[in-house]
Every structure is written in structure tokens, then in C-alpha cells.
Amino acid sequence: MARFLEIVVATLLVVALGVVVALFLPANRSYTHAVETNRPINVVFDMLNGFQRFNDWNHMKIIDPTVEFTLSGPASGVGARLDFRSDNPRIGTGSWEIIESVPGERIVFAIDTPTMGHNKTMRFSFERTGRNQRNVEISKRYRVEYGWNLIGRFAGIYVASNMGRQVQLSLRTLNNALAGIPRVDYTLYPHPFQVVDIPARNVLQVEVIAPLADDGVAVSMTNQRQWMDRVMTANNLVADGPMRIVTLDRSAESYTFIMQLPVRRSDAPEGASSAPSVAELPVLDVTITGEGNTVAFAQTAPMRAANTLWVGPAPGLQRVRDTIRAWALVRGLVPEPGAQGFDDYTVAIPDMLSPEAEFQAFVPLAAPLPAP
């Protein structure tokens, strides 16, 4: 009996000591880590202000590829919410929701996870840094409250080692994802971006390698357009839309591209060169003649593309397409691998260097990134 009482007393003393220690432990814990990127601050903000690229800064999918995500609320900003469910005990069931969003400054997520604690938040803060303030420091802070949960206070001792590793890995992965986005701030671009469906088309096309010096591009385009005009006249065809220039390659000396001109029979209605699919396009029997004539008839497949307007000289289109790519990638839209993009010229070839020239710029899209 005496031995039993000794054990009880010892146990009570240990418990009492534990309670006393717990009372002096912090009622909340936090962990902060930061990385630096050279991408524009607005691009970084957009990357995190929603869940389109969630898998690029959260590792639930790595821990459990079968984890289920459900999105609700707006696509971005306050109210955007992601609920998750997994049979893996390391993940369990919970949610992330944006509760504060200040452009260029911070984004705060309320998170609900099976781990101990309540009022859990994940805060991303952004601060310009580096030479000429051109870089951005991304700071990520996890915070959790335990209140009077004394066991939770003991669990908080391991926040830095457990949650800290996740925070660090998350920021490294985010930085890698940002490195794949063109270094351009699309939020400063004066015209809106959109995703459009491009129909199948009947076109005359020709590949061109043009020197960049001495107006070589304009001269080459003019010469090839003359060949196209001859083919249209010989086959009773007319142009049915603007000239499209599909970029293949650009070096310091030359520009390689494909000229495409949509065509229809002269007696067909306007727009007859396009259809939802190649199978629905009108059949055209086109005969190509003339020595040195490399123009060909083709039917192009439908596609989806990110698009915007460009007003300015044609050489600026390359930068515009990079801007489109940045906008698309942040939203989980993947440009077609290897595709340089294409542009519709709504101006005559002699006017393509005018500051008032207008073009529609496009970047073809592959399948979007897997949704969270």
C-alpha cells in the first residue's frame, strides 16, 4: 500500500510540475521565414491571392496525391476558400480561406487543420528590397493560439521544427514556380487580358525567313502577300479576315514566321472561312501555280489562347506575348509548349511600324494546370 501511495504522490507531483511549466509556456506560437524573388510584386501577390496555383506553394498533394480539394467563394481575394479532405492522418480534413487581402502588402489565410490549437493563420507579407527596390521579399508567418489548452502549449514547443519545415519548403517551391514566369508586370498593361476560343480556319499560308535589317520583314511580307493575292485571283477566293503572323523563331539577324490569310469563296458569306472544327470547314479545291510560289492551302485546327490588344509598332509584340504568358501562368493556364504565339494584323503591312498600329496578340494554351 505504501508503494502504491508513493507512485500516486509521484505521479501527482509530475502532473503538478507539468501544469506549472505549461502555465509559463506561451499561449500562442508563430514561425516566420522569408525568401527573395526578382519577380514584380504584383505578380507575386496575384500568385498567392487565390488557389489557382495552390499546389505550387502547398504540399498536400505531395503527401497525399489523392487528397480532395473543393473551391468556393470568389476566385481570388477575401472569401476565396479551399476545403480539403484526406485519409492521410498528416492532412485530415480542414480548410484555407483568405480573410485579408491588401494588394502589394499582405494576404492572410485562416486555416483549419486537425493539429492542436485554434485561430490558426498563415500570413504572406511582401516588401520591396534589393537594388532599386526591384526585388521582393516574401515573408510567410504561421501563427496558432492554444489558450488554456496546456497540452497544446507543450505541442507548441515543436512548431518551429514541424510547421517550420513546411513553411520553408513551401517558400522554396513558390520561388521555383515564380522563376518560370516571365519577369514582366502585366498589371501595368493598359489593355485587358482574356481567354478566347480560336475556330478552325481555311487559310493560305507560307513560311518566311526575313532579315531584320533594312525593312526586311515588311518587304518579305509584301512579296508573299502578292503571291497570296495571285492564288486568290486564280481560285476565285477572297480574304476573310486579318493576316495572322505565327512566330517560329527570332534571332539577332532574322525573323522566321508563317503568314496565314483566312480565305473563302468569293460568293460565300463573310466568316465562311471559320468553323468550330476542321471537319465542318467548307471544302476548297485550291490550285497553286507559279514558279517560286511557296504559298500553300491549309486547314488549321481550333484552339484556345490567351489574348490581348497591342497598340504600337509590330516589334513590340514579342514583349506583349511575354506579358500574356505571365498573366496566364499566374492563373494556372499553361502556354502550349514550344509555341511562340501569333498575332492578327489589323493594319496594312506598310503601317505596321506606326505607333497607332493595332494588333491582336495571342498565346496558344495547353490544358490548364491540374486544379487544386
pLDDT score recorded for residue 12 = 46
**Residue that is written with C-alpha cell 492564288 in the block:** 231
pLDDT at residue 13 tops 90: no
The per-residue pLDDT of the chain, averaged, comes to: 86
pLDDT band at 90 (very low <50, low <70, confident <90, very high): confident
pLDDT score recorded for residue 367 = 65
pLDDT band at 314 (very low <50, low <70, confident <90, very high): very high
Domain definitions of the chain by residue range: 25-181, 194-364
- Please tell me the distance from the alpha carbon of residue 310 to that of residue 13, in angstroms, as a whole number: 77
Q: How many CB atoms lie within 10 A of CB 324?
A: 28
pLDDT score recorded for residue 235 = 94
Per DSSP bridges, beta strands 274-275 and 296-300 are: unpaired
Q: For 327-337, how does the pLDDT look when each residue is reduced to its tens digit (9 = 90+)? A: 999 998 989 98
The CATH number, out of the four listed (3.40.50.1010, 3.40.640.10, 1.10.3720.10, 3.30.530.20), of the domain defined by the range 25-181: 3.30.530.20
Greatest pairwise CA separation for the chain in angstroms = 115
Core vs surface per residue 194-206: b (16+ CB within 10 A) or e:
eeeebbbbbbbbb
- Which residue type does 198 have? I
pLDDT at residue 5 tops 60: no
- Low-confidence winner among 6-15, 224-233, 264-273, 337-346 (lowest mean pLDDT): 6-15
Topology of domain 194-364, CATH: Multidrug-efflux Transporter 1 Regulator Bmrr; Chain A (3.20.80)
pLDDT band at 21 (very low <50, low <70, confident <90, very high): very low
Q: For 27-46, how does the pLDDT look when each residue is reduced to its tens digit (9 = 90+)? A: 566 778 899 999 999 999 99
